[in-house]
Amino acid sequence: MVFVFMVKPKPHNHSFGYNVVHIVFVTKYRHPVISEAIESRLTQMYKRLCATQDSELLECKADLGKRDHIHLLVDLAPRLSLGKLTNILKTISSREIRKEFAAELKPYYWKPVFWKRGYGYTSAGGAAINVLIKYIENQGDDD
């Protein structure tokens, strides 16, 4: 399902606007460990964590074909750096996913890791939001 919505500037403390960023996290060693259950749990976590940072998760979808990366579309709060948000998202999700899916991940990770160091990102200003949402939703469907 593709949602087409007009992005309206959001009010912030002393400003208004939107700062939509497409972020990609890759699993450590590119192990194919992101199942539907893990994807669902990551989406729940990211929605909650983004909200705590005055940001909004607009879309979240793993490539369930390769099962080694996940795409996020986030409206980033102006007071928050992208690096700070990704640090929060990756650190907390790694710890929680390793705890909740320990048996499933045990054959792949013997150290306390889940995500590869670093992340990919691009500003969503150059493409229409509905195009990015469609791209993210179609991850794993014969790219």
Q: Is 133 domain-assigned?
A: yes
Q: Is 89 domain-assigned?
A: yes
Q: What is the pLDDT of residues 128-140, one digit of tens each?
A: 778 878 888 888 7
State the Cα–Cα distance between residues 35 and 99, nearest whole angstrom.
Answer: 15
Instruction: State the CATH number of the domain containing residue 84.
Output: 3.30.70.1290
Full residue range of the structural domain in which residue 61 is found:
18-137
Contact of 102 with 33, CB cutoff 8 Å: no
pLDDT at 3: 42
Q: Is 39 domain-assigned?
A: yes
Q: Is 12 domain-assigned?
A: no
Contact of 115 with 97, CB cutoff 8 Å: no
Q: Measured between alpha carbons, how far is residue 97 from residues 62, 75, 101, 127 in Å? A: 14, 24, 6, 32
Q: What is the pLDDT of residues 75-127, one digit of tens each?
A: 999 999 999 999 999 999 999 999 999 999 999 999 999 999 999 999 876 56
